[in-house]
Amino acid sequence: MRVLLVGAGGVGTAITRIAARRSFFDHMVVTDYDLSRAEAAVAALGGEEERFTALRVDASDRAAVAALLAEQRCDILMNATDPRFVMPLFDAALAAGVDYLDMAMSLSSPHSERPYEECGVKLGDGQFERAGAWEEAGRLALVGVGVEPGLSDVFARYAADELFDEIEEIGVRDGANLTVEGYDFAPSFSIWTTIEECLNPPVVWEKDRGWFTTAPFSEPEVFDFPEGIGPVECVNVEHEEVLLIPRWVESRRVTFKYGLGDEFIETLKTLHKLGLDRTDKVSVPGGDVSPRDVVAACLPDPASLGELMRGKTCAGTWVKGTKDGAPREVYLYHVVDNQWSMREYGSQAVVWQTAINPVIALELVAGGVWSGTGVLGAEALDPRPFLDLLVEYGSPWGLREQ
């Protein structure tokens, strides 16, 4: 298998470090708009560098990406860019006749009149609209396979297959006790993506109602996270799992809640009030600029914070239902300690936890264990091989009876 990796930021670089320890692929072409980032990611691999090549590509240029896929004889495109570039990369892979894998799906837009009651364009709608073309081409687009979405969806399918007879609710719950020394505000993941998912209307799915929206940061609850993280207040946030899980897993309700903290929420609200979450460009002396890009440029690169971070991050899926006629409630989870991920891989915990899952999915596709055509989420496929590989990669998952 020959892989085109687009994006050599924190997650993309972590992908190369994880993949370098595996033998399932022949070559990985590492690309970025900034060639120096791709070159740095490859150079850091040392003795494994011969299986990797660094090149420049503009992720927004569909034709250029498709041409590069053909030139490099790649079998699959792995998208490690932010969601703005999902559609050009998704379309480039289809045009080139190769498979595709991403960690975040095409962007949403709120309902024009009732944004906090009804869905407008949902996350992933742009990709699912093209599912027929992927099926006709006999190619696979495996979408939303990071940690959340991704591993969380694998957990949902595993729970449905092996732990429950009927499921009342599936709730993805994400929390951490990470701190960053020397910073009052330093997000551990892309602020561009964080603003997008936290300030958009969150989506909830109910069997009798379908998909609907609520106000940002709604329905707060305190969730007790494992392995010493403890209680964290979580709120509704727009996320792909709610759009993916109901397509393949039977449940009466699906939600996603994120542990943000009051200070983080207030900062995001302030950015919104000031219009600094906008993506359309405004005129300033010297040219036009997107306010959200300015915010991102003023904050530290999350990939650079690893040495200053302390604590753990937890991604998981809470499931409530019945088994053998008795009520059951479980939390399936994956915890990464930042000091461990820095020591073992040189990547901070949040980006490393995101990166390991698409590499596992790639290995399953390369070996023919995961296969199919069209646009599929992780919950459409067998969860057990994925979870077994997660353990083999040295990062075990857990299950807690609630």
Digit-coded pLDDT (tens) for 261-298: 888 888 888 988 899 888 889 988 888 888 988 988 88
From the list 104, 62, 63, 284, the residue with the least C-alpha distance to 192 is: 104
Residue pLDDT, tens place only, 34-70: 999 999 999 999 877 899 999 999 999 999 999 999 9
- In one-letter notation, the amino acid at residue 26 is D
Query: Residue 185: pLDDT band by 50, 70, 90 thresholds?
Result: confident
Residue with tokens 């969730």: 223
Secondary structure of the chain in HEC code, one letter for each residue: CEEEEECCCHHHHHHHHHHCCCCCCCEEEEEECCHHHHHHHHHCCHHHHHHEEEEECCCCCHHHHHHHHHHCCCCEEEECCCHHHHHHHHHHHHHHCCEEEECCCCCCECCCCCCCCCCCECCCHHHHCCHHHHHHHCCEEEECCECCCEHHHHHHHHHHHHHCCEEEEEEEEEEECCEECCCCCCCCCCHHHHHHHHHCCCEEEECCCEEEECCCCCCCEEEEECCCCEEEEEEECCCCHHHHHHHHCCCCEEEEEECCCHHHHHHHHHHHHCCCCCCCCEEECCEEECHHHHHHHHCCCHHHCHHHEECEEEEEEEEEEEECCEEEEEEEEEEEEHHHHHHHHCCCHHHHHHHHHHHHHHHHHHCCCCCCCEEEEHHHCCHHHHHHHHHHCCCCCEEEEC
Residue pLDDT, tens place only, 139-170: 999 999 999 999 999 999 999 999 999 999 99
- Would you state the pLDDT for residue 242? 98
Tokens of 97: 């006749």
Cis preceding-peptide flag for 149 (omega within 30 of 0): yes
Please check whether residue 51 is in contact with residue 77, taking contact to mean a CB–CB distance below 8 angstroms. no
- For residue 100, what are the contacts with CB-CB under 8 A and spacing of at least 6? 76, 77, 79, 89, 90, 93, 94, 139, 140, 141, 142, 143
Phi-psi region of 144 (alpha: psi -120 to 50; beta: other; left: phi over 0): left
| 267 vs 129 pLDDT, higher one | 129
> Is the pLDDT confidence value at 364 over 90?
yes
- Would you state the pLDDT for residue 279? 86
| 206 vs 307 pLDDT, higher one | 206
- In this prediction, what percent of the chain has a pLDDT beyond 90? 81
Q: How many CA atoms does the CB half-sphere of 229 hold within 13 Å?
A: 29
Please check whether residue 91 is in contact with residue 100, taking contact to mean a CB–CB distance below 8 angstroms. no
Tokens of 338: 């930042």
Please check whether residue 179 is in contact with residue 169, taking contact to mean a CB–CB distance below 8 angstroms. no
- Would you state the pLDDT for residue 305? 82
- Would you state the pLDDT for residue 321? 98
Compute CA 81 distance to the chain's CA centroid, rounded to the nearest angstrom.
10
Please check whether residue 173 is in contact with residue 237, taking contact to mean a CB–CB distance below 8 angstroms. no
pTM of the model: 0.93
Q: Give mean pLDDT, residues 375-393.
A: 98
From the list 196, 192, 215, the residue with the least C-alpha distance to 204 is: 215
- In one-letter notation, the amino acid at residue 14 is A
Q: Give CA–CA dist 217/262, Å, rounded.
A: 10
Residue pLDDT, tens place only, 163-173: 999 999 999 99
> Is the pLDDT confidence value at 192 over 80?
no
Please check whether residue 90 is in contact with residue 104, taking contact to mean a CB–CB distance below 8 angstroms. no
Q: How many CA atoms does the CB half-sphere of 35 hold within 13 Å?
A: 5
